[in-house]
A and B are shown apart, each in its own frame.
Chain A
Amino acid sequence: MAELLVRIADKVNEDFYLNLQCTKRGDVIVVCPDGWPWGREEVNAPHWTIIKLPGVPVEEVEHLVSPEPQTDPHNPSKTLQRRMWKLDLDHPAAKGRIDKDTLLKTLASKKQPVKDPKVF
């Protein structure tokens, strides 16, 4: 069973490249087992929410914390994002009870790669 700590407000760095490494709204920060003893700030901080998925094994959703991977080790990208996946928290389905299918089939999507403005 899984519980997800999800960012609901962007973390922003004024540096373009560092900003890509900051988590954004809809990014999953951590996935923990059901009944996890979250800390005070994990529960109360305004930039996070916790999505509970009773009955869903951690293994089925932990890919949501994967970073965007390097695709060319010989020409490493400087614009990889901190998370490869995001949850669409503005989708109507996010307003109600979220189950595994809603999470993985409706809310979760892979992010688009970011172009490096210094590379033509």
Chain B
Amino acid sequence: MPTTVVKTIGTSSRDYSTLQAWEDACPANLVTSDQIWRGECYNDSEFVDSSGNVFLAISGETTDATRYLELTAAAGQSFQDNAGVRTNALKYNASNGVGIRETTGYNAIIFISVNFARFSRIQMKHDGTGRCITSSGGDSCTLKDTILYTTSSNTGIQIGSSWKIINVLSFNSSTGGGLEVFAGNLIIGCAVIRTTDQSATGTAYINSYNGNTLKSSCCFGFSTVTTGSWNAASGNNATDLASGLPGTSNQHSVTFNSTTPFADSTVAAQDSKSIAATALAANGFLDATNAPNDITGTARSATPTIGVWELAGAPPPPDASPVQRLRRVYYV
């Protein structure tokens, strides 16, 4: 049984003040040391880099499926933990929880070449022209419950193989922001949104190879949904485009403007919470193993909302229990 070594990261008397020092201190071989190297970020201040270099590079460590690096927010430090998480605007806002921001350059905020790493409960914003995450040889990682904000024509992430991308919001204020994946990745409960301030262009889910699965996710503001072919298990997705979603039970031609299907999709007032009574509601797919909750930690219903935001109080599914059927009458 691996030992989880928890290190605190922040600018108020933590173990490390910088993300890179946390990584550099990690044992070179987590398998032989039998450890999980867990970094817990504190929102003492926004993590900001203005060098244009990669903010956090993770490479050189030996890992496996049970002994890996994990970067997350400490308890009470994530936007997920904010008392107003269900009412705050859903967007990058370091006041709400741990935020990691790069101000310039074309390098990614996080570059990873190590397998099995996990990232969760954080926010990332790139004010330059780079991506939030790039991997090269870093496979089988997990990115969960995370807000990404990019401001250039670059994609939000560009990753390799066998990642799980769960409840990730990728918002873009320019002509980029898509999720670029190679092979065997699972994307579930995600939302890729281009601001309505921009004309639709580009591809939302760039499938560089094959075997990827797109489930219960959505994309709005692009001119193309995907490239390449997807795993047959894909489905229950949504877009404003007339066609292009892989799999079955998809929602095409969903109306998209600044106030639907999200609260606000302008740059100035971004709020990517799903609103009620759109085709996103109750048309998703519940993956109880990988995505039992939404990006705020709210439990998904049996027929969840497509995307990152679960509409609490959504009507129960048609085959619900007697009690749920009574609730459905109540909702009607």
Q: Which residue numbers of A lie inside 8 Å of B, CB to CB? A: 5, 7, 11-15, 18-23, 29-32, 36-42, 45, 47-48, 58-59, 62, 65-67, 82
Contact = CB atoms under 8 A, between A and B. Distances in A.
B11 A42 contact: no
Interface string B14-44: 1111101100110011000000000000000
A62 B24 CA distance: 17
Given A29-B24, A39-B13, A18 B53 contact: no
Contacts of B53: 62, 65-66
B7 interface: yes
A112 to B, nearest CB: 19
Contacts, number: 84
Given A11-B28, A31-B51, A65-B53, 8 more contacts: A37-B11, A39-B17, A40-B14, A45-B25, A48-B21, A65-B51, A66-B53, A82-B60
Interface of B: 7-18, 20-21, 24-25, 28-29, 51, 53-54, 57, 59-62, 113
B264 to A, nearest CB: 36
B29 A14 contact: yes
B62 A18 contact: yes
Contact of A41 (B16, B28, B29, B57): B16
11 contacts: A13-B61, A18-B61, A20-B60, A23-B24, A32-B18, A36-B17, A37-B17, A39-B10, A41-B15, A42-B16, A82-B59
B51 A58 contact: yes
A72 to B, nearest CB: 15
A18 B18 contact: no
Contacts of A41: 7, 15-16, 21, 25
Contacts of A13: 28-29, 60-62
Residue of A19, A23, A29, A42 with most partner-chain B CB within 10 A:
A42
Given A40-B13, A42-B16, A22 B21 contact: no
B21 A39 contact: yes
B17 A32 contact: yes
B136 to A, nearest CB: 9
Contacts of A45: 25
Contacts of A39: 8-10, 13-18, 21
A18 B53 CA distance: 21
A65 to B, nearest CB: 6
B182 to A, nearest CB: 16
Most buried by B among A29, A31, A41: A41
B198 to A, nearest CB: 30
B29 to A, nearest CB: 6
A14 B11 CA distance: 33
A42 B28 contact: no
A5 B25 CA distance: 12
A18 B28 contact: yes
A7 B11 CA distance: 20
Nearest to B45: A37
A42 B17 contact: yes
A10 B8 CA distance: 23
B51 A62 contact: yes
A48 B51 CA distance: 21
A100 to B, nearest CB: 17
A14 B62 CA distance: 9
A41 B16 CA distance: 6
Contacts of B62: 13, 15, 18
Contacts of B18: 5, 29-30, 32, 39, 42
A18 B51 contact: no
B226 to A, nearest CB: 26
A7 B60 contact: no
A39 B10 CA distance: 8
Q: Name the residue among A5, A29, A30, A67 with the largest chain B CB count within 10 angstroms.
A: A30
A7 B13 contact: no
B288 to A, nearest CB: 36
A41 B22 CA distance: 9
